[in-house]
Structure 1
Amino acid sequence: MLRDTRADQAYFDNVVEYLTTRCESNDRRFERPVEKWADPKMIGQVAGDVMKQRWDRFSALYSQGASVEVLRAEFDAVLSDAERALRLELEFLPIEQRVVRFAFGNSKDFYREWLSLVSLALAFRVDDATFDRVVAAVEFGWGDRLIDRLIASRRPLHPVGETLSFPKIVGALNEAFDAADPSQTIEKYLKNWYTAWKGIWGWGGHESLGKNLYSGYWAFEATGVVVALGIDGTLFRSNEFYPGDLLTSGASA
Structure 2
Amino acid sequence: MKNMIPRDDRVSTAYWTNAIEVLTRSVEEFRPFSHRFRAEDVRAGIIRTTANFDNALFLLGARYSAGHPASELADDVASVVTIWETWNQYAAQSADGFPLDPLTFDDKPPYYYALWLSSVARCVGVDPDVRVRMIEIVTAGGGADPVLGTLLGIEPVRDSVWHKRPFQNLLTAAVGEPARAEAALLRYVQAWEKNISFIWWAPALKAVQGDQFETYFGYWAWEAAGLVVARGLDDTALRASPYYPADLVDGMQDR
Task: Calculate the TM-score normalised by the size of structure 2.
Answer: 0.81
Match of 1:237, SS? helix
1:195 has 2:194 as partner: yes
1:58-84, Cα deviation, whole Å (9 max, x unpaired): 001111011122223332323332333
Superposed, 1:146-225 pairs within 5 Å as 146-151=146-151, 154-155=153-154, 158-180=155-177, 181=179, 182-210=181-209, 212-225=214-227
Encode CA deviations 1:76-102: one digit per residue, 9 max, x unaligned.
3233323333333345589xx77x654
Matched residue SS, 1:7 = coil
Match of residue 11 from structure 2:
7
Q: Distance in 2 between matches of 1:168 and 1:252?
A: 34
Paired with 1:223 and 1:90, the residues of 2 have a C-alpha distance of 34
Q: How far apart are the structure 2 equivalents of 1:28 and 1:76? A: 16
Q: 1:226 to 1:90 in 2, by over 3 A?
A: farther
After superposition, the Cα gap between the structure-2 partners of 1:250 and 1:213, relative to the gap in structure 1 and judged at 3 Å, is: closer
Give the Cα separation in 2 of the matches to 1:56 and 1:137: 19
Report which stretch shifted further, 53-62 or 206-215: 206-215
Distance 1:120 1:134 in 2: 12
Per the alignment, residue 80 of structure 1 pairs with 82
> What residue ranges of structure 1 are gaps of 5+ in the alignment?
none
Conservation of the 8 A alpha-carbon contact between 1:119 and 1:220: yes
- The within-5 A match list for 1:52-67 is 52-67=54-69
Tell me how far apart the structure 1 counterparts of residues 37 and 144 of structure 2 sit (CA, whole Å): 35
Q: 1:23-73: per-residue Cα shift (whole Å, max 9, x none)?
A: 1122144579544x4xx3663575345311110010011110111222233
Q: How do residues 56-135 of structure 1 correspond to structure 2 at under 5 angstroms?
A: 56-92=58-94, 102-106=103-107, 108-135=108-135
What letter corresponds to residue 171 of structure 1 in structure 2?
A: Q
Shift of 1:142: 3.6
**Greater shift in the superposed pair: 198-207 or 2-11:** 198-207
SS in 1 for 2:243: coil
Q: 1:93 to 1:143 in 2, by over 3 A?
A: farther
Looking at structure 1, the residues matched to 51 and 114 of structure 2 have their Cα atoms a distance apart, in angstroms, of: 13
Q: Could you report, residue by residue, the CA deviation over 1:188-238 in whole angstroms, capped at 9, with x for unpaired residues?
A: 000001011113132111111145221111111112211221113344222
Contact 1:142/1:148, CA 8 A, preserved across alignment: no
The normalised TM-score by structure 1 is 0.82
Structure 1 vs Structure 2: percent identity of aligned residues?
24
Amino acid at match of 2:17: D
Residues 160 and 50 from structure 1, CA distance in 2 versus in 1: closer, same or farther, beyond 3 angstroms? same
RMSD: 2.9
Give unpaired runs (5+ residues) of structure 2. Answer: none
Cα pair distance change 1:110/1:32, threshold 3 Å: closer
Count, aligned residues: 243
Letter in 2 for 1:117: L
